[in-house]
């Protein structure tokens, strides 16, 4: 049974300073802040009666005035490659998707930061949903908690990537709080080096993250070395042009003392030519980075295709060793529309009226 949330405070998403303030208001001891954090995030407990080291009177107070929300799993789909896509319902009935990406050596959870996305990248299903709202810090971390609760106990979580629905840097404060919860010993206890925040290019927030939490990994979705083509594929480029974006990426690599990743979705005849590969190699010179090539994953909304493997290999050969490191990501979960760029909650397909900023696809340089 989901709790009657009327007038009670949801504790999932609060962090140490929030708990401390709440406990001060309740005239409770400050040490209980860490206790609460550790029960809710570390031990993944939502039922106050299980918080055995809290006094009976404190547990009764919690049950009366607070609750711990859980995302509701509406649906799961399992891919042939064992990856699992989760459809979660939020308290206001909005829905989001997250993916457990199975790999025998390295499991990853791909999480969402917004309901939909306002950035309307031309190749991305989420972009066609439009934007509904930001997720709270609790809703962000709860994707990990619920997936951990659901998958077999012997499966480890090795990586978390913010590559699901939404642009994390447009929800900066909640994403930062979620990162603190994830990386604290009183929280999920994850190493920051195993968490990647991926941005379409919100340059000012790259600088902010470099100040706030530079140990997490940064990925920048690049997808073209040409400003004009990038504007068509990723309209955000009109506000945040390439040159300052790359300078921010360079600074982040320096602050975090680790390579940044440039994500590059290869789209047939659009951004996969030899000439563009050479331009890309030149553009990223001097930036400690890895280029992660991703084969375009088809979506119903966009009239794009995947390049042939011959063309992909040629692109890769031109890039490496001109670029310091180049990898080719084979997307998992394609058969269940859980791969990169394919997330879109079905409920939105039926509804309409969300504001989007779509470009005319016909204006993209197609063959």
Active site residues: 97, 340
107 versus 113: smaller Cβ distance to ligand SF4: 113
Q: What's the closest the beta carbon of residue 328 comes to ligand SF4, in angstroms?
A: 19
- Rounded to a whole number of angstroms, the minimum distance from the CB of residue 267 to ligand SF4 is 13
Pure H helices in 90-136: 125-129
Does 263 bind ligand SF4 (CB under 6 A)? Our answer is: no
Given a contact cutoff of 8 angstroms between Cβ atoms, the answer to whether 28 and 41 are in contact is: no
Which residues in 46-85 contact ligand SF4 (CB under 6 A)?
A: none
Site membership for ligand SF4, residue 183 (CB under 6 A): no
Both tokens of 156, joined, read 């480890």
- How does DSSP classify residue 190? -
What distance in Å separates the CA atoms of residue 267 and residue 298, rounded to the nearest whole number? 10
Site for ligand SF4 in 118-147 (CB under 6 A): 119-121, 124, 126-127
Q: Is residue 117 near ligand SF4 by the rule CB under 6 A?
A: yes
Helix, strand, coil abundance in the chain, percent, nearest 5: 40, 20, 45
Report residue 217 as tokens: 């990994």
Options 151-159, 162-170, 186-194, 309-317: segment touching ligand SF4 (CB under 6 A): 162-170
Interaction of residue 339 with ligand SF4, rule CB under 6 A: no
CB nearer to ligand SF4: pick between 120 and 245: 120
Q: Does position 235 bind ligand SF4 by CB under 6 A? A: no
Minimum CB separation of residue 361 from ligand SF4 in Å reads 14
Whether 159 contacts 190, CB under 8 Å: no
Regarding 253 and contact with ligand SF4 (CB under 6 A), the answer is no
Maximum pairwise Cα distance, the chain: 70
Please name which of 229, 271, 222 lies closest in space to residue 359, comparing C-alpha atoms: 229
Position 182 contacts ligand SF4 (CB under 6 A):
no
Structure-block tokens of residue 303: 């009239």
Cβ atoms of residues 341 and 122 within 8 Å: no
Coil, helix or strand at residue 291: strand
Q: Does 111 bind ligand SF4 (CB under 6 A)?
A: no
* Cβ–Cβ under 8 Å, residues 170 and 118: yes
Bridge-based pairing state of the strands 260-266 and 289-295: parallel
Stretch that binds ligand SF4, among 159-167, 171-179, 285-293, 326-334 (CB under 6 A): 159-167
* The one among 54, 96, 182, 200 contacting ligand SF4 by CB under 6 A: 200
Nearer to ligand SF4, 13 or 164 (CB): 164
Residues that bind ligand SF4 in the complex, under the rule CB under 6 A = 117, 119-121, 124, 126-127, 165-167, 200
């Amino acid at each position: 049974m989901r709790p009657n949330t009327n007038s009670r405070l949801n504790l999932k998403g609060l962090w140490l300073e929030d708990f401390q303030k709440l406990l001060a208001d309740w005239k409770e001891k400050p040490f209980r802040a860490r206790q609460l954090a550790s029960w809710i995030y570390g031990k993944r407990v939502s039922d106050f009666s299980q918080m055995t080291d809290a006094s009976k009177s404190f547990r009764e107070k919690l049950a009366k005035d607070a609750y711990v929300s859980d995302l509701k799993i509406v649906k799961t789909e399992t891919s042939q490659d064992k990856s699992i896509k989760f459809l979660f319902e939020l308290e206001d009935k909005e829905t989001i998707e997250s993916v457990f990406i199975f790999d025998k050596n390295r499991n990853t959870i791909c999480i969402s930061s917004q309901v939909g996305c306002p950035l309307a990248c031309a190749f991305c299903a989420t972009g066609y949903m439009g934007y509904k709202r930001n997720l709270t810090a609790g809703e962000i971390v709860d994707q990990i908690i619920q997936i951990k609760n659901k998958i077999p106990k012997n499966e480890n979580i090795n990586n978390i990537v913010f590559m699901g629905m939404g642009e994390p840097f447009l929800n900066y404060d909640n994403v930062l709080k979620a990162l603190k919860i994830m990386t604290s010993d009183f929280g999920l206890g994850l190493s920051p080096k195993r968490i990647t925040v991926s941005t379409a290019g919100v340059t000012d927030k790259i600088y902010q993250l470099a100040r706030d939490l530079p140990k997490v990994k940064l990925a920048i979705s690049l997808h073209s070395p040409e400003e004009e083509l990038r504007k068509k594929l990723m309209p955000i480029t009109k506000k945040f042009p390439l040159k300052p974006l790359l300078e921010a990426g360079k600074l982040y690599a320096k602050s975090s003392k680790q390579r940044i990743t440039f994500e590059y979705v290869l789209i047939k005849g659009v951004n996969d030519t030899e000439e563009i590969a050479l331009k890309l190699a030149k553009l990223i010179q001097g930036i400690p980075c890895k280029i992660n090539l991703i084969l375009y994953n088809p979506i119903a909304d966009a009239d794009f295709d995947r390049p042939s493997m011959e063309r992909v290999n040629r692109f890769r050969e031109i890039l490496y060793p001109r670029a310091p490191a180049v990898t080719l990501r084979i997307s998992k979960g394609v058969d269940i529309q859980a791969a990169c760029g394919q997330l879109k909650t079905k409920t939105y397909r039926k509804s309409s009226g969300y504001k989007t900023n779509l470009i005319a696809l016909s204006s993209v340089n197609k063959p």
